[in-house]
Amino acid sequence: MSETVKKQPFFYDITLRDGNQSLKKPWNTQEKEIIFNHLTELGVQGVEVGFAAASEMDFEACSRLSQISPDNIVISALARCIKHDIEKAAEAIQSAKKQRIHTFIAMSPFNMEYVLNKTPQEVRKQAIEAVSFAKKLMGNKSEIQFSVEHFGDCSENLDFVIESLQEIVKAGATVINLPNTVERTRPSIFVQMVEKVYNALPKDITISVHNHNDLGMATATTVESYFKGAVQLECALNGLGERAGNTNMYEVAVALHNAGVDVPLNLSKIYELALIISDMSNVRIYEKAPLIGPEALAHRSGIHQDGAIKTKDMEKGAYRPIHPSLIGRKDDEKLGFTSQSGKTAIFEIITEAGYPITLGEAQRIAPVAKEAAEKIGELSTRNIIDIYYQNILTVKGAFKFVDIEKLSDEEIRLQFKYKGNEYNVVSFGNGPIDQCIKAIQKAGFNIEFINYEQKALNMGSDATGMTIMYFKAPEGKTIISRGCDENTFMANIKAIFNGLNIIENEKEII
């Protein structure tokens, strides 16, 4: 199969069998039914409902899920290459419209010798007999799937495996599954083996892969196997499965979607389902898990934060593989502030918390936040708001307000300190702000007031007034300062003195 030929993938879910068998507390029938219903909503094409001969509970679950299965979903039950298992599987799935018996045996040299204690010829015979038996038992009612357990370990005896599979297909199997039962090989080597099998079998045979994730490469192996002819992809929700798990269905689906493949799943259900499965399996989602991890949308470096914010409403993001809404994830990209972060994170976190700030102000307080983060690690929103209070709403510097006295409607007396020297100035003006500015100018300080505005704010539990003032600094820069107080007049005074200190500290640019 060339890389450009794209047959729609067939998603075969193994959560209820391989996933279930790895749980500390395997699911009962009711729990399996809940998950099965989610799987049908997700839109998978096949579900392996259990290993019918494993226990009464598994048999009951297989029967129940077959009874409620929609007509368009293949229902399969696992069976060793043993008559009794095959009969149990057949009985358990008899109510399903689309039935499939899935039988398997190991064919790797290592397993045949040390686990099965059988010669290759004996294994081949057992496999052919099992498939023939299943075919005879089921007739046209059911498909037969055969799995070469430990296929990933069969590079040395691949010719034997292929010859066996040709016989097995003649015996009645129409789906050949190639498991990487234990992931030990490089994806490219496994994929080449898949391609060899694909080329050696009739084209109407469905090739399937089933990759475990022991080395963390199961998604890559599965995706690349698809492009070499494996149409059936065996995957589990949340990557549940023995040891490090099975191939994660969400990752494969999204990777194929990003590769332009028409993925027959309702992708927008993924995120919600991941949380449900984590809850039901008691297997928490690793915080860095691709797509679904709580940290999967977090950015901490200043460069990434800048790119993330600039592209946050676009389908393609600078630092994410998909738009989170594709998988039904409603939370936005999250910016955390650490010593690696910058003004964008401050701006976003403060704005998100409901406080007004400009990018210039965020830039001014970023070094203070970085210094704090160097000591304590990632800052909480509360930490950043405290920094905002201490550095935007109170600007430390050479100017200190002492007192103001209203002498008449037009006249005030202002007392303040500059570098420890006390000033006591009487000034006239048109309203308190003008009077105050004129008093400061009269004392010999060169400040140019441009404009001001007032806002009513609800900051924390207090309803407060904020005065925002714009000044022209001596070098022509415009600076913005803020003052907050329940008393509007005091909010003005604070904004003026904060502004003086910002100019003095020569930091503010907007």
420/328 Cα distance (integer angstroms): 60
In whole angstroms, how close is the CB of 312 to ligand KIV at the nearest point? 41
φ/ψ of residue 453, rounded to 5 = -140, 160
By a kind-dependent CB cut-off of 5 to 8 A, residue 69 interacts, out of ligand KIV, Zn ion, none, with: none
In whole angstroms, how close is the CB of 229 to ligand KIV at the nearest point? 18
Nearest Cα residue to 50 out of 25, 24, 14: 14
For ligand KIV, which residue of 10, 27, 36, 104 counts as binding (CB under 6 A)? 104
361 binds Zn ion (CB under 5 A): no
Piece in contact with ligand KIV (CB under 6 A), picked from 114-122, 174-182, 198-206, 255-263: 174-182
Count interface residues toward Zn ion (CB under 5 A): 1
Residue type, 88: K
Ramachandran assignment for 241, one of left (phi > 0), alpha (psi -120 to 50 degrees), beta (any other) = left
For ligand KIV, which residue of 210, 299, 300, 364 counts as binding (CB under 6 A)? 210
Comparing CB distances to ligand KIV, the nearer of 75 and 496 is 75
Comparing CB distances to ligand KIV, the nearer of 179 and 317 is 179
For ligand KIV, which residue of 63, 181, 435, 492 counts as binding (CB under 6 A)? 181
Comparing CB distances to ligand KIV, the nearer of 148 and 385 is 148
Angle at 421 between CA 479 and CA 503, to 5 degrees: 10
Within its chain, how far is the Cα of 78 from the centroid? 32
By a kind-dependent CB cut-off of 5 to 8 A, residue 80 interacts, out of ligand KIV, Zn ion, none, with: none
149 binds ligand KIV (CB under 6 A): yes
166/160 Cα distance (integer angstroms): 10
361/355 Cα distance (integer angstroms): 12
Q: Are 218 and 212 in contact (CB under 8 A)?
A: yes
Residue type, 10: F
In whole angstroms, how close is the CB of 62 to Zn ion at the nearest point? 17
Instruction: State which of positions 141-200 bind Zn ion (CB under 5 A).
Output: none
94/439 Cα distance (integer angstroms): 94
In whole angstroms, how close is the CB of 28 to ligand KIV at the nearest point? 21
Q: What is the DSSP string of 121-160?
A: HHHHHHHHHHHHHHHHHHGGGEEEEEEEETGGG-STTHHH
Angle at 204 between CA 76 and CA 104, to 5 degrees: 40
In whole angstroms, how close is the CB of 17 to Zn ion at the nearest point? 8
**H or E stretch at 103:** strand 98-106
Instruction: State which of positions 254-313 bind ligand KIV (CB under 6 A).
Output: none
For ligand KIV, which residue of 19, 179, 302, 342 counts as binding (CB under 6 A)? 179
Beta bridge partners of 465: 456, 485
Give the number of other CB atoms < 10 A from CB of residue 190. Answer: 26
By a kind-dependent CB cut-off of 5 to 8 A, residue 149 interacts, out of Zn ion, ligand KIV, none, with: ligand KIV
147 binds ligand KIV (CB under 6 A): yes
18 binds ligand KIV (CB under 6 A): yes
Q: Are 44 and 9 in contact (CB under 8 A)?
A: no
401/418 Cα distance (integer angstroms): 9
Look at strands 230-235 and 206-211 and give their pairing: parallel
- Binding to ligand KIV by CB under 6 A, coded x per residue (else -) over 49-88, reads ----------------------------------------
Comparing CB distances to Zn ion, the nearer of 151 and 250 is 151
18 binds Zn ion (CB under 5 A): yes
- For 256-267, what is the HEC assignment? HHHCCCCCCCCH
Comparing CB distances to ligand KIV, the nearer of 147 and 238 is 147
Piece in contact with ligand KIV (CB under 6 A), picked from 176-184, 273-281, 353-361, 490-498: 176-184
334/324 Cα distance (integer angstroms): 12
- Binding to ligand KIV by CB under 6 A, coded x per residue (else -) over 344-383, reads ----------------------------------------
The structure tokens listed for 233 are 């992809």
230/169 Cα distance (integer angstroms): 16
By a kind-dependent CB cut-off of 5 to 8 A, residue 147 interacts, out of Zn ion, ligand KIV, none, with: ligand KIV
193/444 Cα distance (integer angstroms): 85
Comparing CB distances to ligand KIV, the nearer of 211 and 363 is 211
Piece in contact with ligand KIV (CB under 6 A), picked from 55-63, 115-123, 173-181, 447-455: 173-181
In whole angstroms, how close is the CB of 378 to ligand KIV at the nearest point? 40
Comparing CB distances to Zn ion, the nearer of 101 and 466 is 101
Judged by the rule CB under 6 A, the positions of this chain that interact with ligand KIV are 18, 104, 147, 149, 177, 179, 181, 210, 212
Give the footprint of Zn ion on this chain (CB under 5 A).
18
